[in-house]
Amino acid sequence: MGLAENGLEFAVTLNVGGFLVSGLVAGGNSYFKRVGAEFANVLPEDAQGTAAEFFAPMVELYDNLEKDPAAPPRALIHLKNASFFNTHGAPLPNNRSVWWRGKLSAVDGFKTGELGAADAD
């Protein structure tokens, strides 16, 4: 536990509610840094700092989880470069990968490694 918070990323494909979600497991700190930056990029320049400030407490929370031996077990998983695959095998979105955050309790199954469009056929 906590390997992702320390920068170790590894490929996984999850079965979540009938969809396959495939990407790299990443830490919550990385997730919030990147999602905060994506929000900031779509805001007017004078509001970009506010977006970073909004997400900063979450980055700090995940940074501190590793330092706390009494931290609760993880309930969420974060994926970098995630794609979703429907029953037809086409990746969604088809133009780029995204950051994804989901509940571990919603995962019905998993396999190591990423799923590519050719694998889903």
Mean pLDDT over 88-103 rounds to 84
Structural domain includes residue 21: yes
Record the pTM.
0.82
Structural domain includes residue 27: yes
**Residues of the domain holding 32:** 4-112
Structural domain includes residue 117: no
For residue 2, how many other CB atoms are within 10 A of its CB? 12
Taking the C-alpha atoms of residue 5 and residue 92, their distance in angstroms, rounded to an integer, is: 26
Secondary structure of residue 57 in the 3-state scheme: helix
Instruction: Provide the pLDDT confidence category of residue 119 given band limits of 50, 70 and 90.
Output: low
pLDDT of residue 77: 95
**How many structural domains comprise the chain?**
1
